[in-house]
Structure 1
Amino acid sequence: MEGEYKKIILLKGLEPINDYQFSIVKSVLARDLGLTANMQKEYNKVKIADLMEKKFPGVACVNKLIDLFKEMQDCEDIVINLRNGKRKVMRQSRGKETIPMKKIKPGASSTEESTSTADGASGSVHDTPESKKQKSKTTPKGGKKKVQPTQQQSQLPEPSATSTQSSGSSLQGPQQPPATPCSSGSTKKPRLKAIPREAAREEGVQKGPKKVMVLKATEPFVYDTMEPGKKMFHATVATESQFFQVKVFQVNLKEKFVSKNIITISDYVGRNGFLEVYDASSVSEVSADQKMEVSSGLIQKANATPKIRDLYLQKPGTFVNGIYEVHKKNVLNEQIISYEIQDNTGKMEVWVYGRLTEVDCEEGDKLRLTCFELSDNVKKLRSVIHSFMKVIKSRKNKKQPLDPDSHMETSP
């Protein structure tokens, strides 16, 4: 199967990209692949695929390319194709695993043979001594008796719909209190207004209008260093029952995204858990006499930092906002820095790429992370093209000069 993984990275990963994107791939992977400056110029896609297959054997080469393309703009379809190709090869690999076959006596029916094969493949309770005795019973004509399942077998639980979901799905809603007895002797659960733990999601083009209260917003920043004109900012808004994460690509709208301001959003796009606003005319302020009541509990949830323990339960691809303390810093190269963050529930790595490596952050500082993604292989957070990072300097680091372009703030 090694050759199949190489075929995936070459045909589904490297072949569809243009020359500029290929130069990015070679530049980022230069250290891992041992590429000199001349090799970066001379190596074509076939040679890079050959080298990746040697440096990252098996499925690791595909994962490496997926991780890289997820950071690059306009490569979403390539990531999907790489993942689909990887899953197909892995399924084929599992299907080719050989399973010892039980010997079938001459004259045995094909049904018996398939049953024997299934039993040998399962390795389950069907191979207990008791079940083997039942299987060996024959009718006077030499045929096998149809055996009813034993009590132990019949009590095996069936897989439920919820058991196939990720464990992170249990975090979607608040715990309900135990049922309380009513006067009639029956039980009745008290009605509580549910407060969502995660931002609400909408997918596709949405006409609106949606009336929301602004809870907070970041300052505008350049998200594509190759095109300084590409700026955006992040915001958190809420209705009376839900909160949303918003990407705003018109920075002149920043004056409307002020805390506690009530606005309407129209003609936006729902994508990957965010509402994306592109047109300045899509946002308007409501009249001063219109009020909104957003509960303090909902505001608290919208501003909360997820516990690291809970991040390990979330599915890959989840985007995370929060404030975490840095305990270790490891500069891997000019384009990659790894931070180890920690809270009272655990530790996790945060990998920062490209422009965000220029942000001055040291051990003991806190990182305010916005739009960081959980990776799909080793659990860690990593920056993507729309990620934003701000540093809250610790007291011991406060005396360091502050660079206004480094997105810093100081703790009180």
Structure 2
Amino acid sequence: MEGEYKKIILLKGLEPINDYQFSIVKSVLARDLGLTANMQKEYNKVKIADLMEKKFPGVACVNKLIDLFKEMQDCEDIVINLRNGKRKVMRQSRGKETIPMKKIKPGASSTEESTSTADGASGSVHDTPESKKQKSKTTPKGGKKKVQPTQQQSQLPEPSATSTQSSGSSLQGPQQPPATPCSSGSTKKPRLKAIPREAAREEGVQKGPKKVMVLKATEPFVYDTMEPGKKMFHATVATESQFFQVKVFQVNLKEKFVSKNIITISDYVGRNGFLEVYDASSVSEVSADQKMEVSSALIQKANATPKIRDLYLQKPGTFVNGIYEVHKKNVLNEQIISYEIQDNTGKMEVWVYGRLTEVDCEEGDKLRLTCFELSDNVKKLRSVIHSFMKVIKSRKNKKQPLDPDSHMETSP
């Protein structure tokens, strides 16, 4: 089966990628494969596949490539093909298909209860025989008693970055104020409207209309350097009870996305925690006599920067907005820069790819990150095709930006 794994990484992994993506693969794997600068220039995809087979025998070479492609832009389909190919070879090597779920017969052993299956494409994990047994045990009287989960169960893998589940569920909600005494001497808790900690989510095509107040918007920017006409900007909007992150792909709508402006959004798409607006006709301003009351607490939550400590609790695939100070900068190559950001709760790496590597940012500056994704193997933030980055220069680093997309500000 060793040759089958090599065939997977060559035909399903390396063959479909372009020259630029292949150069990233060679650069990132240079240390692991022992590649010199000349070897990186001269080695083709076949030679790299040969080296990977030797350095990472068996299924390890496929896993290595999967981990790398999960970090790269526009490689989601390749990751899925690699995982499917890997599962197919592993099933062939076992000589049998995954055992289907079956019902327990009286007196049957617990090993017949279920089959453990890890779905490599989605990252989901189904119940194992042990987890089923831990969930419920039948007592002699036919009742059930609760059993605490084992340590092994508490360490099951998280969903993959392609998941569209909402994040932040592990964080505590806002605390209610203490009860206040009533005139009769009893106590009664005041009713307060709950303030969401995360942006609201909608999935699929939405007709609307949705009336919102604009809280803020970024400058328009080119998100695809191969096609300069592809421009967009990000915005944050709110109803009276929740806030939303918006991607606007019609830059002429920027004049309507002005702070405190009240607009309606129709015929938009909800995807991965964002509302996506594609047509100019989808946005219209409301009449001046229509008012909206958006609480200062909701606005504060919408503009808040997540603590790094809390980012480690989020699910992979979560998109993050916030302002963080840069403590270290590491230029890996012309197309990849790693920044170490820090706040009073911890540190985390931010990997920046492609066009955003031209933004002038140095140690001591602050980065205003928009639409950065939390990676799904090592916890770090990374730029994706729609990411936007703005630099807030420290006094000591203040100078003219080299690139118009750097959008420099000055920090005191």
What's the counterpart of residue 19 of structure 1? 19
Question: How far has the Cα of 1:314 moved from its partner?
Answer: 0.6
Of the structure 1 ranges 237-246 and 48-57, higher mean CA displacement relative to structure 2 is found in 48-57
**For 1:177-256, what aligned pairs fall within 5 Å after superposition?**
191-256=191-256
Change (3 A) 1:29 1:212: farther
Q: Structure 2 CA distance, aligned partners of 1:104 and 1:69?
A: 41
CA distance in 2, matches of 1:176, 1:21: 51
1:11-53 Cα shifts (integer Å, max 9, x gaps): 5434555778667766876787677899778766544433344
Q: CA deviation at 1:408?
A: 1.1
Bigger Cα displacement from structure 2, 194-203 vs 101-110: 101-110
| Distance across 2 between alignment mates of 1:267 and 1:274 | 14
Deviations 1:282-316 (A, max 9, x none): 11111111111111111000000000000011111
CA distance in 2 between counterparts of 1:119 and 1:218 reads 38
For 2:248 and 2:125, the matched residues in 1 are separated by 57
Identity between Structure 1 and Structure 2 (%): 100
For residues 333-375 of structure 1, what are the alpha-carbon distances to aligned partners after superposition, in whole Å with 9 as ceiling and x for unaligned? Answer: 1111111111000111111111111111111110000111111
- Does 17-26 or 297-306 show the bigger shift? 17-26
Quickly say closer, same or farther: Cα 1:362–1:217, change in 2 above 3 A.
same
Q: Given the superposition, is the C-alpha separation of residues 213 and 153 from structure 1 closer, same or farther in structure 2, using an over 3 Å criterion?
A: closer
Query: Which residue number in structure 2 is paired with residue 276 of structure 1?
Result: 276
Give the CA deviation at 1:206: 1.1
After the TM superposition, which of the residue ranges 54-63 and 296-305 deviates more from structure 2? 54-63
Structure 2: how far apart are the matches of 1:221 and 1:96?
52
Whether the 8 Å contact between 1:172 and 1:197 is mirrored in structure 2 is no
Contact 1:125/1:153 (<8 A) preserved:
no
Q: Name the SS for the 2:284 alignment partner.
A: strand
Report the alpha carbon displacement of residue 197 of structure 1 after superposing the two structures with TM.
Answer: 0.6
Residues 167 and 176 of structure 1: is their aligned pair in 2 closer, same or farther, counting only changes over 3 Å?
Answer: farther
Q: Give yes or no for contact 1:71–1:385 (8 Å, CA) kept in 2.
A: no
Distance 1:261 1:366, change over 3 A: same
Within 2, Cα distance between the matches of 1:314 and 1:115? Answer: 29
Structure 1 position 252, deviation (Å): 0.7
Query: SS of the counterpart of 1:171?
Result: coil
Residue 341 to residue 133, structure 1, CA distance change in 2 (3 Å): closer
Q: 1:193 to 1:105 in 2, by over 3 A?
A: closer
Greater shift, 60-69 or 198-207, is seen at 60-69
Give the TM-score of the pair, scaled to structure 2: 0.72
Taking only aligned residues, the RMSD between alpha carbons, in angstroms, comes to 8.5
Distance (Å, rounded) in 2 between the aligned partners of 1:121 and 1:280: 36
Question: SS of the counterpart of 1:125?
Answer: coil
In the superposition, relative to structure 1, how do residues 168 and 198 fare at CA in structure 2: closer, same or farther (>3 Å)?
closer
User: 1:266–1:63: structure 2 CA closer, same or farther, 3 Å change rule?
Assistant: farther
Which runs of no fewer than 5 residues in structure 1 stay unpaired? none
Tell me which moved more, 252-261 or 130-139.
Answer: 130-139
Distance in 2 of aligned mates of 1:154 and 1:243: 32
Do the aligned partners of 1:66 and 1:79 also contact (CA within 8 Å) in 2?
A: yes
Q: Which moved further from structure 2: 135-144 or 218-227?
A: 135-144
Consecutive unaligned residues in structure 2, runs of 5 or more: none
CA gap 1:303/1:138 in 2 versus in 1, 3 angstroms: closer
SS in 2 for 1:240: coil
* CA drift at 1:332: 1.0
**Match of 2:339, SS?**
strand
- C-alpha deviation, 1:184, in angstroms: 11
The CA distance in 1 between the partners of 2:300 and 2:292, in whole Å, is 16
Q: Distance in 2 between matches of 1:131 and 1:224?
A: 46
* Partners of 2:119 and 2:125 within 8 A in 1: no
Secondary structure in structure 2 of the residue aligned to 1:391: strand
Aligned residue runs from structure 1 range 311-390, under 5 A: 311-390=311-390
Q: Please tell me whether the aligned partners of residues 248 and 278 of structure 1 are also in contact (alpha carbons under 8 angstroms).
A: yes
Query: 1:185-218: CA deviations, max 9, x gaps?
Result: 9997653311111111111111111111110000
Structure 2 SS opposite 1:309: helix
Answer with 158-167 or 180-189: which moved more. Answer: 158-167
Deviation at 1:122, TM superposition (A): 27
CA-CA distance at 1:269 after TM superposition: 1.0
Larger Rg computed on CA atoms: 1
Range with bigger deviation, 160-169 or 375-384? 160-169
- Would the alpha carbon gap of residues 405 and 3 (structure 1) be closer, same or farther in structure 2, given more than 3 Å must change? same
Distance 1:220 1:148 in 2: 52
